[in-house]
Structure 1
């Protein structure tokens, strides 16, 4: 699939080229300030990542607690949050990093936006769905059982609102199972959880637009006519169609 014009024909790129925004000069970083601190922070981050991989690979390593006579193992989501936040705190303490300067960088605001957009909204959506599971099941059970593919539309819309595949699966797949949708059908519809490209406000989408110095990756006049819409819709629809075809064949 080909979308857009070649760079030699693209007016935005040609405009930037004439303005001298592109040159052949190479930027080299000859030295890094606080090189020792940078190496320590990277090492701590790698160790934290390794611990998460170990906890995920070996369930016996996860902390367990005796609650009301029953052994409860700490979930991976909580372990990831504890380990990574602890690693961040250790980095600040060991390297004596200025926390105020860290929050003023380009990475921290983007990360906090992602925390609010993904964690907060996903939590809200999950709470709403779990609290109203009975009513939702009764209201859409007949329609979804007659046309199971409509559940894929629900997954797509919810992923737009929640900005997360995992949060969408956690929120809606239990409902799909409760409605009696075939597990094979749920797997075939799984690509529908990638709908967060629909509205161009996801951090990686915005970052990709900013990274493209040619100006060809952009948000259109009507917001939804952005550079990711066509490839996103085509890939999602084709993936779902192939999944539905495979479950019919096999």
Structure 2
């Protein structure tokens, strides 16, 4: 029976991935309905906490975008990227990493990808090199960000066995090391642009050649009046979240034994609640003091992306959690001995599920509880956290599509055989090195 149930789960994910957007969410609900009404499976708790965090973080990022703060950040990043064009393969991924680390979502990098592509092209550096690892580094930063839904989900699952500060101490250096490993792999990836037959053929078209030599500038026009203040408000709230994560005693305590979505069994306010409260408070402050409106926030592209992510996580995580809950004993019996003997093998399971779910938060919420049930030590689970970044393997994730579309030379591409695309090698190397570095750091820090 478990194989039939798994086949339904896999079919829902594959069909939903092809539908894109909210497809994963709605197909997850279809599979969940089959589980409940046909197989009589008891539904698991819906992933309310992850959904609320995504909604809160993306809403605040969209508020930052509506107030002009995103434009200000892009201009700063553009200055960095254009200052040393010969180092674009290094600077590009470091900038996208910092952006995502700061905002908690990789969707914030869309404005940077055309700049990275254009700087590389002007220097006649193959844009594929910078774009591929820049996308991967942005994904890795989600598992190192103090305000991402994936990080908050891991904190909740570990239930006090590893706090936010510990996760950041492991995952930030581990994912930076992984990013640098990806940079090394991409440094001479592919043919030089002036020797690429595809690019040389395109350059024979005078219209294309003129277009290639035209600057794409993100910094035209004046900034909105509240742009810089909105960035300051957002940054202040991110620092507050890190501070509270490091010193949880700063939060009020309530009667133990009465838990809900906001309070744990010990009477402590959950980290997810802190992120939601502070993020939406920041959004309110930006609207009040930075000359923007709630209507403008609702129209921001990031808000639309976030809404799609919420629906996708809702359906696919609820479906996956129900499957896991029903078959926990079978899965534990099958995987238990292997994982206990070699805990790192659980990272493979995280990576494979990440490929299917297209979401770090969804993968964390769906599979990390199994790691806890199997008795894997919390430091090892934190070390393996970057393995949830499997969403680059199947070429359907929006940031991958954006990178391919922004590369006017055609060097960044999806392969004829689906998996032989520009992001595969840097992605595999970066994730593997991040996990290895995570184990090394967890061994040092305990």
Greater relative contact order structure (CA < 8 Å, 6+ sep):
2
Q: Would the aligned equivalents of 1:118 and 1:163 in 2 still touch at CA under 8 Å? A: no
Greater Cα radius of gyration, structure 1 or 2: 1
SS in 2 for 1:73: coil
- Aligned 1:224-235 pairs, distance under 5 A: 224-235=419-430
User: Quick one: which of 217, 220, 223 aligns to 1:29?
Assistant: 220
The alignment status of 1:58 with 2:244, answered yes or no, reads no
User: Quick one: which of 219, 231, 235 aligns to 1:42?
Assistant: 231
Q: Please list the CA deviations of residues 37-80 of structure 1 after superposition, one character each: whole Å capped at 9, or x if unmatched.
A: 32343333223223212221221122433254764111212211
Specify every segment of 5 or more residues in structure 1 that has no aligned partner in the other structure, as ranges: none
Q: What's the offset of the Cα at 1:196?
A: 1.8
The alignment status of 1:220 with 2:408, answered yes or no, reads no
TM-score (norm 2): 0.45
Q: Please list the CA deviations of residues 128-159 of structure 1 after superposition, one character each: whole Å capped at 9, or x if unmatched.
A: 43454334213443565677665333222112
Specify every segment of 5 or more residues in structure 2 that has no aligned partner in the other structure, as ranges: 1-184, 259-264, 442-446
C-alpha distance in structure 1 between counterparts of 2:229 and 2:317, whole Å = 34
C-alpha distance in structure 2 between counterparts of 1:93 and 1:16, whole Å = 50
- Aligned 1:86-235 pairs, distance under 5 A: 86-95=281-290, 97-118=292-313, 121-122=316-317, 124-126=319-321, 128-130=323-325, 132-142=327-337, 144=339, 150-165=345-360, 167-180=362-375, 192-235=387-430
SS in 2 for 1:200: coil
Report the CA distance shift for 1:103/1:140 in structure 2 as closer, same or farther (over 3 A): same
Mean Cα displacement is larger for which, 81-90 or 137-146?
A: 137-146
C-alpha distance in structure 2 between counterparts of 1:193 and 1:148, whole Å = 15
Q: What's the offset of the Cα at 1:243?
A: 8.4
Report the CA distance shift for 1:133/1:105 in structure 2 as closer, same or farther (over 3 A): same
Q: What's the offset of the Cα at 1:114?
A: 3.6
C-alpha distance in structure 1 between counterparts of 2:252 and 2:399, whole Å = 33
Q: Would the aligned equivalents of 1:65 and 1:72 in 2 still touch at CA under 8 Å? A: yes
C-alpha distance in structure 2 between counterparts of 1:240 and 1:46, whole Å = 28
> C-alpha root-mean-square deviation of aligned residues, in Å?
3.9
User: Quick one: which of 47, 64, 75 aligns to 2:270?
Assistant: 75
Report the CA distance shift for 1:109/1:10 in structure 2 as closer, same or farther (over 3 A): farther
Q: Would the aligned equivalents of 2:225 and 2:291 in 1 still touch at CA under 8 Å? A: no
- Look up the match of 1:10: 196
Aligned residues: 245
Q: Would the aligned equivalents of 1:92 and 1:99 in 2 still touch at CA under 8 Å? A: yes
SS in 1 for 2:254: strand
